Amino acid sequence: MNKKQKVISIIGIFIILIMGFIPPWKYIDNDSSTYREMPAGYYPIFSPPELDEEQLLGLEIDISRLAIQWITVLFMMAAALFITQEKRDATESDEDELL
């Protein structure tokens, strides 16, 4: 792993951690015959958004949206790592096989 790849890996892991500490939230309304989920925005994990007691019955982290974000970052990280890999010459790989 070269220096560019190490930097890309560190930045990607940092972004994933930040997404985990500030996840997307959703309100859940299940008071009638219908079930509804409404986005509540991004809030720190230790300080969730305020819940309106009159209309809404629940609040939870939007795991599906968070998973899509993490997968997107991982895909972008893998693409960046692939693009920045150093290409080896045929002579270098032959020398490595002899050792």
Q: Rounded mean pLDDT of 35-56?
A: 83
Q: Which residue has the higher pLDDT, 49 or 63?
A: 63
φ, ψ dihedrals at 36, nearest 5°: -130, 145
On the question of pLDDT at 13 being above 60, the answer is: yes
Distance CA 60, CA 82 (A): 36
Query: Residue 14 pLDDT more than 60?
Result: yes
Measure the CA–CA gap between 52 and 45, rounded to whole angstroms: 18
Share the mean pLDDT of the chain.
85
CA angle (27, 29, 33) in 5-degree steps: 160
**In the predicted model, is pLDDT for residue 53 greater than 70?**
no
Output the six-digit token pair for 5.
Answer: 């790849």
51 pLDDT tier (thresholds 50, 70, 90): confident
Prediction pTM value:
0.77
Find, among 50, 57, 52, the residue nearest to 31 by Cα: 57
